[in-house]
Amino acid sequence: MTDLKERILKRKKQSMERYREERDAFEKVMGTPKINVSVELPKGYEAQREEFLELEREEGFLKDADKALGRLVKKHLKKAKEQAEKEESRKAEEMG
Amino acid sequence: MLSSASLIYIGIYILTLLLASTEVTALSVAALIGASLSTFFGLVTGLFMPDEVVEFVDFRVILLLVGVMITFEVVEKSGLFRIIALYAIKYSKGDPRILFFSICFVSAAVSLLLSDVTAILLMAAAAGTIARIMDYDPVPYFVSAAIMINLGGTSTLIGSTSNMIIGVASGLGFVEFLNYLAMCEIALWILTSLTLYLLYRPRLGEKKPPPTYDPWGEIQDKRTIYKASFIIVFFLLLFLLYEHWNVGPEIIAFLSAVLALLVVDVDAGTIFRQIDWETIFFIGGFFIIIGGLDKAGVLAYFSKAVLNLAHGDEFLAALLTLWSSALLSVFVSNIGVALTYTPIIGMMGGLGLNMNFLWSALVLGTNLGGAATPVSGAVCVLTMGALKEENVNLSFIDFSKAGALTTIVQLLFASFYLILMFGM
């Protein structure tokens, strides 16, 4: 019976993967753009493989990751903006 | 009285439907189990010969289905339908009423060409995204899209798999389908979307500023979109004209598929892998089960029973066909219902009945019964799954309120339409 339930769920899961792909495509155009970052299991923590994989669904971890990544993204975007501005003013100086 | 061989074949038929509708096995595997049992008993009891088993399968239906699937899989890959959905949402300008009707009509229109499963994944994703952005309740949009997708394509030969089966068996052409059923389908689109609107009006949400985006600007490969549009126009033109050339629709579908693969730059291997083989094997297996039922005399028995029940009256026979096929389609695959009814209806030919009346009733019945409950068809099952992805748990009853209500409204209108169309 468990096997049967799993088979039914597997078939539905495949369709939902297609749904998520389709939703991401719409989100890209209509919603806030997103990027995906993947994280590898750090060296020295091989024994905690299971716990590492569970982090993907752990609410506390996701909140922390969101905060930390948000800070990093802002830092890098700020840096990129400053560099672009510097480059622009350098070009303006060269021109005249 | 039914013979013992007939009872065995009825048992195989019911077993197959049970396996398929309870999802104990995949749809295709259920049909192949039934086909194997049917073949085994037929050969052992001498009911039919090995050569006849192959003849049970109508390869014209398979070719038509594969051709249509390849053509529209290629077109779908171009992103053309996504652009259409994006424009529909953009032009609703944040008004939930316009958005609701846009989603309803685009869902029905898109399902004229795409398979119902592909159409619901596309439209649910579009509705889910805009509902999240605008903070709307996604239920009205999701359920309405599912019901309209089930309805879309009722009047075209290629609009649904059951239509292809009925079209090939009846010999009704693409234009004849439109002549008999297009007006009915248009009226049903309006009637169904209005019924859904009245049902869901309080849950649609308030007008808000919509997201700003440019669907056309988002297209990275505009050439492919042009090519896909050309394929659709060419495909429809061929279907409108093929009856003058003395070829069947399956040949046109096959030629269109080859042309689509040639014109649009897609990997043929990827397209072939994405064809709905599940449905194709289901149909192949089910043809063999129906062949066994035919040889055992079951279909002739039921054909006579329908006529007796209707007292030989074509109006009653048509209405009986419409309502019984719709009711069966609520519980089992409408493809199976179409495969079962086509030979039964076919046997009534030559009795002086208006066969187009009966075929039209069957087309409407098999199409309209597919969205009454969340388990009536793949579209409804996927809608429930997609809602779950949006963290909404819709109950069986809540879906069925909309599904059953619209099905009854549609069937009442279809009965009225059939009497008006063929009785006047």
Residue spans of the domains in chain A: they are: 1-34, 40-96
Does A49 touch chain B if contact means CB atoms closer than 8 Å? no
Please check the confidence at residue B77 and state whether its pLDDT lies above 60: yes
Please check the confidence at residue A12 and state whether its pLDDT lies above 70: no
> What's the start-to-end Cα distance of chain A, in Å?
79
Residue A5 is predicted with a pLDDT of: 57
Mutate to test the interface with B, among A26, A27, A28, A34 (most CBs of B within 10 A): A26
Interface contact flag, A23 B128, Cβ < 8 Å: yes
Task: Say if CB B276 and CB B69 are below 8 A apart.
Answer: yes
Burial bucket for residue B78 (CB in 10 Å: 0-12, 13-18, 19+): buried
Comparison of pLDDT for A5 and A94, the residue scoring more: A94
Residue B413 is predicted with a pLDDT of: 97
Which residues of chain B have a CB within 8 Å of the CB of A28? 218
Instruction: Residue B150: name the closest of B2, B398, B396, B334 by CA.
Output: B334
Residue A50 is predicted with a pLDDT of: 92
Does A20 touch chain B if contact means CB atoms closer than 8 Å? yes
Per-residue tokens: B153: 């394509």
Mutate to test the interface with A, among B18, B19, B23 (most CBs of A within 10 A): B23
B230 Cα to chain A: minimum distance (Å): 24
d(CA B256, CA B250): 10
Residue B400 is predicted with a pLDDT of: 93
Torsion region of B78: left, alpha or beta (phi above 0 gives left; psi -120 to 50 gives alpha) = alpha
Interface contact flag, A30 B132, Cβ < 8 Å: no
Q: Choose among B26, B211, B382: nearest Cβ to A15.
A: B382
Please check the confidence at residue B147 and state whether its pLDDT lies above 70: yes
Mean pLDDT of chain A: 86
Please check the confidence at residue A84 and state whether its pLDDT lies above 60: yes
Mean pLDDT of chain B: 91
Give the contacts of B127 (CB within 8 A, at least 6 positions apart): B103, B138, B141, B142, B145
Query: CA A66, A70, A73, A74: dihedral to nearest 10 degrees?
Result: 180
Q: On the CB side of B362, how many CA atoms lie within 13 Å of its CA?
A: 30
Mutate to test the interface with A, among B87, B122, B383 (most CBs of A within 10 A): B122
- pLDDT bucket at A11, cuts 50 / 70 / 90: low
Interface contact flag, A26 B385, Cβ < 8 Å: no
Q: Does pTM top 0.90 for this prediction?
A: no
When mean pLDDT is compared across B17-31, B329-343, B360-374, the lowest value belongs to: B17-31
d(CA B247, CA B177): 17
Average pLDDT over every residue of B242-252: 90
Q: Choose among B26, B86, B122: nearest Cβ to A22.
A: B122
A26 Cα to chain B: minimum distance (Å): 6
Please check the confidence at residue B379 and state whether its pLDDT lies above 60: yes
Interchain CB contacts (distance < 8 Å): A and B: 58
Residue A3 is predicted with a pLDDT of: 59
d(CA B89, CA B126): 8
Residue B285 is predicted with a pLDDT of: 94
Predicted ipTM of the assembly: 0.79
Average pLDDT over every residue of B311-320: 88
Mutate to test the interface with B, among A5, A29, A32 (most CBs of B within 10 A): A29
Does B206 touch chain A if contact means CB atoms closer than 8 Å? no
Interface contact flag, A19 B124, Cβ < 8 Å: yes
Interface contact flag, B129 A31, Cβ < 8 Å: yes
Query: Which pLDDT tens digit goes with each residue over B175-214?
Result: 999 999 999 999 999 999 999 999 999 999 888 888 888 8
When mean pLDDT is compared across B16-30, B32-46, B379-393, the lowest value belongs to: B16-30
The structure tokens 């994006």 sit at B86
Q: Which of A60-69, A87-96, B349-358 is modeled with the greatest confidence?
A: A60-69
Please check the confidence at residue B1 and state whether its pLDDT lies above 80: no
- pLDDT bucket at B86, cuts 50 / 70 / 90: very high
d(CA B182, CA B177): 7
Burial bucket for residue B15 (CB in 10 Å: 0-12, 13-18, 19+): middle
Does B171 touch chain A if contact means CB atoms closer than 8 Å? no
Does B386 touch chain A if contact means CB atoms closer than 8 Å? yes
The structure tokens 């061929």 sit at B238
Residue B424 is predicted with a pLDDT of: 64
Does B381 touch chain A if contact means CB atoms closer than 8 Å? yes
Q: CB neighbours (10 Å) of residue B303?
A: 18
Residue B219 is predicted with a pLDDT of: 82
Please check the confidence at residue B308 and state whether its pLDDT lies above 90: no
Interface contact flag, B215 A29, Cβ < 8 Å: yes
Q: On the CB side of B142, how many CA atoms lie within 13 Å of its CA?
A: 31
Interface contact flag, B133 A31, Cβ < 8 Å: yes
Long-range contacts of B102-105 (CB under 8 A, 24+ apart): B103/B127, B103/B141, B103/B144, B103/B145, B103/B148, B104/B144, B104/B145, B104/B148, B104/B189, B104/B192, B104/B193, B104/B196, B105/B148, B105/B189, B105/B193
* Helix, strand, coil percent content, chain A, rounded in steps of 5: 80, 0, 20
